[in-house]
Amino acid sequence: MKRGSTLGLVLSLALLGLGAAALVASADLRTDLSFVFPSKPSPDTALLVDKLQRGPAAGLVLLGVSGGDPGELIRTSSRFAEALRASGRFRFVANGRIGPPGPELAALLDKRYLLNPAATPADFTVAALRAGLERTLQSLGTSSGMATKHLVPADPTGRLSEIMAYWAGDSKTDRPGGVWLSGDQTTALLMIQSSASAFDLEAQKSLLDFVRDTFDGLAGADRLHLTLAGPSVFAVASSRIIVDEMRILTLTSAGLVVVLLFAAFRSLPFLLVLMLPLGFGICAGAAAVQILFGEIHGVTLAFGGTLIGVAVDYPIHVFSHAADRGDARAALERIWRTLRLGMLTTVAAFLPLTLSSFPGLSQLGLFAIVGLATAALFTRWLLPVVLPPVAARPPSANWGRLRPDPGRIRAVRLALLIAALAGATYIGTHRDSIWETDLRNLGITTAEARALDRRLRSELGAADVRYLLAVRGASMEDVLRRTEDLTVDLAVLTAAGQVAGFDMASRYLPSLRSQQERRLALPERDRLRASLEEAAAGLPFRPGLFEPFLEGVERSRSGPPLTLEDFETAGLGWRLEPLLFRQGGSWVGLIVPKGVTDAGALARLAEARKADAVSFLDLKAGSESLVADYREESLVWLALGMAVALAVLFLGLRAPGRVLRVMIPVGLSVLLTATVLSLSGTALSLFHLLSLLLVGGVGLDYALFFNRHAAEGEDRLRTIKANVFCAATSVTVFTILAFSRIPVLQGIGSTVAVGTVFSLLLAFIFAERGGSEE
């Protein structure tokens, strides 16, 4: 027996290790917000989800360098940008450095009269040309004019700088202000975009590591501080934080639990087998999700693992009841019915969740069901094999003193009932304000990371957008024309002060239709030559100097049109990418309003232009309604889960009175926990709801054990001891979780820690024995 159990233990541990390794190797872990997104969204919802997930500037990484005087920052920014550019691993690296436009701009320069602002015949009158030439002459008398003087023959009227100014608008990133510094001069700002896909987490991770290493390699960088922000940074940091926190939290709580349980049971083999049911449960749950869904979300793994944490209680119950009356087998004979009923009831509660239209929820449901069933089956059939014959000391008689005072028990129960009723009333009357509405708080990024992102964005003038107009079309040209057709309407809004301005793809890339109109406005070569000669009369420009200008206008007039590829070639693709893209089989153009004071006007405009496939998106309201949908649906599934669980419980106990005795403490604990959380100012999210489900499951086990028929005498002491240590274990683990930096884990931790205390106390106070003694 002894050898058999040792072998079994070693085999189990090895198997668990293998299972975990296989899981790590094969699982597709997702760490984005997709957890809370519906699986079959409408096109507008899909767009919303995409914008929420990746932000308006997808794939951009914002870098901040701080901790030095402005000179040091500018120096480092320049060297940093230089080193990053030299690596060739980025589509662009921008830090505000000015210099003559490089050859990459040639394609745009050639077609500059097709770009915005629209060229009109008025731009080519003698007077207009004369004004342009005089400006150019004046700029040759300055230092910066000397730096760009090679552009004079091709662009004597300064058309290029006119375009740059038009594009820049009020965005700081385009203002020729030298190296970008934050408003308070404490941070140098850089912007990079990698050539790697924003979704390839490994590639992004290696790029970000490269960025950090490059920075550390710069002279003097050891005194400065580098911060990174952006969607890919979040994704990488989240997965890193999850791994880090999991390690720290797991080690800390495992350490504490081991100390606690060793002090209680004084058995080393017991400690070794303690985690086996849970471990196998997690592996089985994760494997089931990976197989059925093809991927597993980080939240499912993190949350699912804790959700079935109740499985640690199984061996504690077995061990407590084994003692000197026999081995684990005998103990299981006695408590298996109770254990099984608890497990089945919990599984029943999770069952409806698997039907959710949100893949995250169905993943969790599946994970919990498979995980719990596996853990229970392991406990029933394999635990006796791997657990050596145990002879734990009988529990000290002191446990028996833990007995409700018969005289006061009624009063206490009544008080608890009233408190729970008051709590229910409070939650009922505040039901609109107790919920978490910010979708991003449901993610796994930390609050600091999001604050940093906001700061860098606003410094770079790429502030978070809330409202968007989406224009759909069959082709890119279609979308560009439609957005151009909105120009007048948009100008009306701007003039009325309802919106400060707009950004959209057609600002940069005019439709072919507009380009054609502009071509018609361009004078033919001989006429332009004549006007130019007249304009230059009396100015000291060398005759024949502007031949490249004449040729350039001619090329704009008769050459190929401007395309998206020209922007890609010029390294400006990043500017258009977030504003013009494919979605499914059609094209989408986004119009991004700035400084919105009247969102209703935008909504009305979209409504009026509905026939032109214009729609209005409010990211905040959209995300709030997504969260609300998510919550509403979850509540339905949870309610259904409760009903199924009750049915199972009824089947198991077969007596309404007993069901009631078990369910009253469970229901009250859940209510009181929810009340305490709300009163403490916590905005309740879906994760709190699911945690309450866990509280219910834990409480159910306590209540079932306290209400066992056989629980008398020493068995009762064992039950009390087992329940107390189960609760102590849970409280320890979840209190530590409450210190996590990840909002989701923190929410789960505090909910379950509080809930476990309530569950134990209430299960004890409402236990059959306490009542029957009166």
Partner 1 sequence: MLLSAASAGAEEGAWTLSHLTAGLALESPETVRFSEERRLQYLTEPLFLEGTLSYAPPGRLEKLVLRPKWERMIVDGDLLTIEHSPKKPPIRVLLSDHPTLAALITALRAVLAGDQGALEHIYATALEGTEDSWLLRLTPRSRKLREAVSEVHIAGSASRIGTIEIREAGGDRSIFTIRGKT
162/566 with CB nearer partner 1: 162
Residue among 6, 26, 120, 144 that touches partner 1 (CB under 8 A) = 144
Nearer to partner 1, 538 or 657 (CB): 538
Q: Note whether 772 binds partner 1 by CB under 8 A.
A: no
Nearer to partner 1, 135 or 450 (CB): 135
CB of 142 to partner 1, least distance (A): 5
Whole-angstrom distance, CA of residue 188 vs CA of residue 182: 6
- Least gap, CB of 65 to partner 1 (angstroms): 13
Residue 220 sits in the site that holds partner 1 (CB under 8 A): no
Q: How far is the CB of 179 from partner 1 (least distance, A)?
A: 6
- On the CB side of 37, CA atoms within 13 Å amount to 23
The interface region with partner 1, picked from 67-75, 239-247, 352-360, 708-716 by CB under 8 A, is 67-75
Q: Least CB distance from residue 540 to partner 1, whole Å?
A: 4
541 binds partner 1 (CB under 8 A): yes
**What is the closest distance, in whole angstroms, from the C-beta atom of residue 139 to partner 1 in the complex?**
8
Please, what is the minimum distance in Å from the beta carbon of residue 226 to partner 1?
18
Question: Token pair of 282, please?
Answer: 């997690």
**Looking at beta carbons only, is 176 or 559 nearer to partner 1?**
176
Q: How far is the CB of 218 from partner 1 (least distance, A)?
A: 13
545 near partner 1, rule: CB under 8 A = yes
Binding-site member from 2, 223, 401, 542 for partner 1 (CB under 8 A): 542
Nearer to partner 1, 78 or 563 (CB): 78
**Among 70-78, 456-464, 564-572, 707-715, which window interacts with partner 1 (CB under 8 A)?**
70-78
686 within 8 A of 630, measured Cβ to Cβ: yes
d(CA 721, CA 313): 12
User: Smaller CB distance to partner 1: residue 139 or 678?
Assistant: 139
Residue 558 within binding range of partner 1, rule CB under 8 A? no
Which residues in 167-196 contact partner 1 (CB under 8 A)?
A: 176-179, 181
Helix (H) or strand (E) holding 30: strand 29-30
Task: Please count the other Cβ atoms lying within 10 Å of the Cβ belonging to residue 613.
Answer: 17
Q: Collapsing DSSP states into helix, strand and coil, what is residue 296?
A: strand
Residue with tokens 């997702």: 30
Residue 77 near residue 180, CB atoms below 8 Å: yes
CB of 456 to partner 1, least distance (A): 19
Pick 85 or 337: Cβ nearer partner 1 = 85
Distance (Å, whole) CA 682 – CA 214: 42
**Count of residues that bind partner 1 according to CB under 8 A:** 30
Of 102, 294, 407, 540, the one binding partner 1 (CB under 8 A) is 540
CB 690 within 8 A of CB 307: yes
Bridge partners (DSSP) listed for residue 471:
589, 614
Q: Which is nearer to partner 1, 98 or 492 (CB)?
A: 98
Query: What is the smallest separation between the CB atom of 220 and partner 1, expressed in angstroms?
Result: 12
Minimum gap (Å) between residue 562 Cβ and partner 1: 28
Verify binding: residue 681, partner 1, rule CB under 8 A: no
Q: Which is nearer to partner 1, 183 or 585 (CB)?
A: 183
Instruction: Answer yes or no whether residue 101 interacts with partner 1 by CB under 8 A.
Output: no
The end-to-end CA distance of the chain, in Å, is 47
Q: Of 13, 22, 43, 97, which one interacts with partner 1 (CB under 8 A)?
A: 97
Question: CA 108 from chain center: how many Å?
Answer: 38
According to CB under 8 A, which one of 143, 398, 433, 772 is a site residue for partner 1?
143
Could you give the maximum distance between any two Cα atoms of the chain, in Å? 116
Residue 684, SS3 per DSSP:
strand
Q: Which are the contacts of 644, defined by CB distance < 8 A and separation ≥ 6? A: 348, 349, 351, 352
138 or 396: CB nearest partner 1: 138
Closest by CA position to 341, among listed 592, 646, 92:
646
Residue 715 structure tokens: 């068995």
Contact present, 731 and 753 (Cβ < 8 Å): yes
Q: How far is the CB of 199 from partner 1 (least distance, A)?
A: 34
Q: Site map for partner 1, 368-407, x if CB under 8 A?
A: ----------------------------------------
CA atoms within 13 A on the CB side of 270: 29
**One of 153, 389, 394, 771 touching partner 1 (CB under 8 A):** 153
Q: Which residues contact 517 (CB under 8 A, 6 or more apart)?
A: 118
Distance CA 79, CA 183 (A): 21
The residue within the footprint of partner 1, chosen from 88, 102, 103, 141 (CB under 8 A), is 141
- The answer to whether 505 and 563 have CB atoms below 8 angstroms apart is no
Choosing from 45, 66, 78, 746, the residue that interacts with partner 1 (CB under 8 A) is 78
Output the CA–CA distances (angstroms, integers) from residue 623 to 41, 55, 181, 185, 566, in the order listed: 13, 13, 33, 35, 36
In degrees and rounded to multiples of 5, residue 610 shows phi and psi of -55, -35
Residue choice 29, 63, 109, 152 for contact with partner 1 (CB under 8 A): 152
Cα distance between residue 537 and residue 613, in whole Å: 52
Pull the structure tokens for residue 369: 């069901």
Give the H or E element holding residue 693.
Answer: helix 686-706
Least Å distance, CB 536 to partner 1, is 11
Nearest to 609 by CA among 581, 634, 589: 589
Q: CB of residue 132 vs partner 1: minimum separation in angstroms?
A: 15
CA distance 188 to 172: 13
Q: Which residue has the tokens 């944490």?
A: 309
Instruction: Return the closest-CA partner of residue 277 out of 330, 328, 351, 345.
Output: 328
Question: Residue 91 and residue 365: Cα distance in Å, rounded?
Answer: 42
Both tokens of 79, joined, read: 């060297």
Distance in angstroms (rounded) separating the CA atoms of residues 724 and 539 = 96
Chosen residue from 1, 25, 42, 99 binding partner 1 by CB under 8 A: 99
User: Per-residue x/- marks for partner 1, 492-531, CB under 8 A?
Assistant: ----------------------------------------
Buried b (16+ CB within 10 A) or exposed e, 433-449: ebbbbebbbbbbbbeeb
**Which residue's CB is nearer to partner 1, number 188 or number 528?**
188
CB of 181 to partner 1, least distance (A): 8
Q: Does 86 bind partner 1 (CB under 8 A)?
A: no
Judged by CB under 8 A, the stretch of 13-21, 72-80, 371-379, 636-644 that binds partner 1 is: 72-80
d(CA 673, CA 693): 11
544 binds partner 1 (CB under 8 A): no
651 is a contact residue toward partner 1 (CB under 8 A): no
Using the contact rule CB under 8 A, the part of the chain among 163-171, 242-250, 538-546, 590-598 near partner 1 is 538-546
Q: Smallest distance from the beta carbon of 542 to partner 1, in angstroms?
A: 6
* Residue 75 binds partner 1 (CB under 8 A): yes
Structure tokens at 428: 């009922």
Q: How far is the CB of 188 from partner 1 (least distance, A)?
A: 10
Taken in order 179, 184, 187, 192, the sign of the CA dihedral is: negative
Positions touching partner 1 (CB under 8 A) are 70-71, 74-75, 78-79, 82, 97-99, 137-138, 140-144, 147, 149, 152-153, 176-179, 181, 540-542, 545
